[in-house]
Structure 1
Amino acid sequence: MSNPLRSLLEDPRPSAPPARVRRDWALLAVVTVSGVLEGVLREDLPLRGLSVVLAVGLAPLLLWRRTHPLAVVATAFGVTAVVDIVLIASGAPALDMYTMVYLLLLPYSLFRWGSGREAVAGLAIVLVPAVMSLVVSWTGVADAIGGVAVLVSAFALGWAVRSQHGARERGLEQAKSEERVLLARELHDTVAHHVSAIAIHAQAGRALAATSPSSALEALEVIEVEASRTLAEMRAMVRVLRDEAPADYAPQPGVGDLERLSQASPTGPRVEVTVSDDLAALPRAIDAAVFRIAQEAVTNALRHARNATLIDVRVSGDRSTVSLVVRDDGDPGAVDPAHEAGFGITGMVERALLLGGACRAGPCPGRGWAVSATLPRQVSA
C-alpha cells in the first residue's frame, strides 16, 4: 500500500492550527460579502432571495472543513440537492449563483483531510447533486465535460496536497530518526570509554588492595564516578535509540576539532572559529553534539547564504551550559527556502532536545542567518 493511501486510511487529522483557523474566518467573510454583493448588484440573478440565503447560509461550513470534512460535504451538497429537487418539482428556474463556486473547497477538503472511508462516502454524496445539476441545466457536452473536469480537479488537488504534506512529514521523521541513531552511536562510544575505565581501575584497586589500601579506596571513588556517568549516558542512549543500527567505533570529533571548519570552503565565505577557554572535560556526547551542530550550521551557510563573506562560529560556556552561535553575513531577505525548511535544521534541533538543550535557527535582525544552541554540560539521566 502506498504511503499517501496509508495516510488517507489511517485518518491522522490533527486540530487546525490557529493561523489556518484565521484564514478560514477570513475566507468566510469574503464569501459572505461576495454573496450579498452579488445578490444586490446582479440584475439577472434568478430567485434572488433564495440564492443569497443559500450561498451565505452554507458559508459557515468552511470553518469545519478541516476537522469534519465529510459532515460539511454531506450538509452542503445534501442541502443543495434537496433545493434542486424542490425547484425541479415546482418548475422554477435553477439557481445560478456565482458565489457558490466556493463549494468546490469542500471536495478538496474531503480528500485533503478526510479518511479513506470519508472520501468514498463523500464522493457518492457529491455525485448526486452534480449529476442532477447537469441534467437540469444541460447546456451541451462541452460544458458538461468542463464541469466534471473542475470537480475532479478539486478532488485531485486535495489528494496531491495531502501526498506532498505526507512526504514532507515522513522526511522530517526520517531526519529525526537518523539523528537519534547517530547520537546513540556516539553515546555508545562514550559508555564503552567509561566501562573500560571502570575495568582498569577495578583491576588496579584489586592489585593494590593488600599493599596500599588508600590507593584501592581512590580506585573505588573513580569507579563510583565513572559508574554514575555510565548509568546516565546508558539511560540517554536507551531513550534515543530507535532501531538496531551498527555502532560506529570511529573517534567522534568535538570542540577541539572545530578549527577544521575554518578550512571548509577555500573559495567561499571565510569561516572564523572562536572557542572560550572554559570548555575542558566536556562529556563526549555534549562535545560531539557541539561539533555536529556547528558543522551542519556552517554547511548550511556555505550552501544557502547569498553573497556572504564571513561565517562566525563562537562557542562559550559557563558552569552549567555550553552555548554555540553560528552566524553569517549573507544578504538580508535572500534566504533559500531549503535553508529555512531543510531537514538539517530538524536534525540539529532534535539532537539538542535529546541532550536536554535547545536549538534555534532563523534570520538575523540586520542581515544574515544565525543558528544558536544551548546544551547542558552534563547528559541528563
Structure 2
Amino acid sequence: MIPVRRSIWHEPRPADAPPIGRLDRLLVGAFAVAVVVEGIVRSDVAWRPLVTVLALTLVPALLWRRGRPLVAALIGWGVAGLLSILQLTTPAGDLDLYSMLAVLILLYSLVRWGSGREIVVGTAFVTVVVALGMYASAAGWADLFGGIVLLLLVVALAAVFRYRADLWQRQQREIRTQERVALARELHDTVAHHVSAIAVQAQAGGVVAGIQPEKAVEVLAAIESEASRTLAEMRSMVRVLREEEAAAFSPQLGVADLPALAHADTKPVVEVSLEGSLTRLARPVDAALYRLAQESLTNAVRHARGATRVGIDVRREGDAVRLRVCDDGRTEPGPVPEPGFGLLGMTERAQLLGGSLSAGPGPEGGWVVEAVLPAEVRA
C-alpha cells in the first residue's frame, strides 16, 4: 500500500488541460441564471439572499476548475461546508439550493485535472464537508448510502477519463518513438552509403593525382558534392531525433521497389504507377514513400470492404513528391472514423520530413491516402 500512496501523491497534473472556452462560459452563465432564479422562486429556502450570494461564489470556481482544480474545489465545497455549519447553528430551515449540485463538477475536475497532492488534499476536504452535511441534514441511511454512491461514481468517472487520456498520450509517444527509431536506421544507412562513396572517391583521387594531376580537381568536386549532400541529410534527420537509438544496418527499400508490390493474380489487384524524376530523391524521403505506400496498401487489403483494385501512384511535382493510394472499396455513410495508430504513425513520419498526409473517403467511393513530401529534406 505504501508504494501506491507514494505514486498517487507524486502524480503530476495532466498536460492536456484545455483553456477556458465558450462552453465553459455558457456553463457558468447557465449556473448563475439557475442560482438567481432558484433564489427568487424557492420560498422554502431560508435566508435566500445570503444563500444566493454564497452560491454565486461558485462562478469563478467553475472557471478555474481545470487550471486551478484544488482552489476551485476548496471554494465550492467550502461554500457547501459553510451552509452546513449555518444549518447546524441556526434552526432557520432549509439552506440548500439544487444549483449547489455544481460542486460535483468541481469534484470531477479535481480528480480529472489535479495533481496527486491536490487530489489527496481535496478529496480529504470533500469527505469532511460531506460528513458535516450529512450530520447537519440528519440524513437517513438511505440518503447516506445514495450520497456516497453518487460521490464515488463521480470520482470513478473522472479517474477513468484521466486514465484513458494518459493511455492515449503514452500510445502517441510510443508511435513517435517508433518512427524516430525507423528514421534513425535510415540515417545510419544514409551515412554509411555516402561515407563509403566518399572514401572510394578519395582513394581513387589519390591514385589519379599521381597519374593525371589535372583530374584531381574533378575528384575533389565530386567528394565535396557528396559530403555536402550527406551533411544536409544528416542535419535534417538529427533535428527530429531526440535520443540515441541503436540501429541495425539493413538496406532500405525505396520508390524503385514499389513495382514489386503490384500483382494482378489475386484480389484486390494492385497497380503501381511512377511518373516524373524519382531517381534522385533524398534517401529518407525515398524510404518514407515506400513505407507509406506499403502501410496504406496493407490497410486497404485488410479493411477495404469489397475492394477489387488498389492503385499506388507516385509522381514528381516540382520540388515535392506526391503519393496517392486509393481503393474502390465500399465506404460506410456517416462521420469519418477517428484515425488509428497506424495512420497516426504515418502522419508523424510525413510531418517529421516536412511533409503532410491526409486520409479519408474518396469522391468516387473507396478510401484515399495522400502524402506530399519534399524531394530534398531541409538542412
The TM-score by the shorter chain falls in which range?
A: 0.7 to 0.9
Amino acid paired to 1:277: G
The answer on 1:357 being equivalent to 2:326 is no
Ranges in structure 1 where 5+ consecutive residues have no aligned partner: none
Structure 2 residue aligned with 1:378: 376
Q: Secondary structure at the match of 2:372?
A: strand
Q: Secondary structure at the match of 1:210?
A: helix
Q: Secondary structure at the match of 2:310?
A: strand
Amino acid paired to 1:11: R
Structure 1 residue aligned with 2:311: 312
Shift of residue 13 of structure 1? 3.8
Moved more, 86-95 or 192-201: 86-95
Q: CA offsets, 1:309-341, max 9 Å, x none?
A: 44332211133111122234441546784xx33
Moved more, 236-245 or 114-123: 236-245
Q: For 1:58 and 1:249, how far apart are their aligned partners in 2?
A: 62
Shift of residue 196 of structure 1? 0.8
Structure 1 residue aligned with 2:61: 61
Amino acid paired to 1:289: A
Q: Secondary structure at the match of 1:311?
A: strand
Q: Secondary structure at the match of 1:375?
A: strand
Structure 2 residue aligned with 1:302: 301
Moved more, 200-209 or 298-307: 298-307
Shift of residue 22 of structure 1? 2.6
Structure 1 residue aligned with 2:320: 321
Q: CA offsets, 1:10-54, max 9 Å, x none?
A: 224455157xx2332333344345445555666766655555554
Structure 1 residue aligned with 2:12: 10
Shift of residue 220 of structure 1? 1.4
Structure 1 residue aligned with 2:213: 213
The answer on whether the counterparts of 2:281 and 2:375 sit within 8 Å (CA) in structure 1 is yes
Q: CA offsets, 1:222-253, max 9 Å, x none?
A: 11111111212222343344444332322211
Q: For 1:208 and 1:70, how far apart are their aligned partners in 2?
A: 76
The answer on whether the counterparts of 1:204 and 1:216 sit within 8 Å (CA) in structure 2 is no
The answer on 1:284 being equivalent to 2:260 is no
Structure 1 residue aligned with 2:26: 26
Q: Secondary structure at the match of 2:25?
A: helix
> Judging changes above 3 Å, is the alpha-carbon distance between structure 1 residues 364 and 47 closer, same or farther for their aligned structure 2 residues?
farther
Structure 2 residue aligned with 1:84: 84
Q: Secondary structure at the match of 1:9?
A: coil
Identity %: 46
> Judging changes above 3 Å, is the alpha-carbon distance between structure 1 residues 139 and 333 closer, same or farther for their aligned structure 2 residues?
same
The answer on 1:259 being equivalent to 2:225 is no
Give the TM-score normalised by the residue count of structure 1.
0.87
> Judging changes above 3 Å, is the alpha-carbon distance between structure 1 residues 179 and 29 closer, same or farther for their aligned structure 2 residues?
same
Q: CA offsets, 1:259-299, max 9 Å, x none?
A: 344449944x4443322132122122111011111222233
Amino acid paired to 1:154: V
> Judging changes above 3 Å, is the alpha-carbon distance between structure 1 residues 206 and 342 closer, same or farther for their aligned structure 2 residues?
same
- RMSD between aligned alpha carbons? 3.0
Structure 2 residue aligned with 1:342: 340
The answer on 1:232 being equivalent to 2:232 is yes
Q: For 2:314 and 2:29, how far apart are their aligned partners in 1?
A: 51
- Residues 33-48 of structure 1: matches in 2 within 5 Å? 33-35=33-35, 38=38
Q: CA offsets, 1:116-175, max 9 Å, x none?
A: 111122112212321111101223223212211211222222222111111110110111
Shift of residue 305 of structure 1? 3.8
> Judging changes above 3 Å, is the alpha-carbon distance between structure 1 residues 289 and 25 closer, same or farther for their aligned structure 2 residues?
same
Q: For 1:257 and 1:70, how far apart are their aligned partners in 2?
A: 58
Q: For 2:56 and 2:310, how far apart are their aligned partners in 1?
A: 55
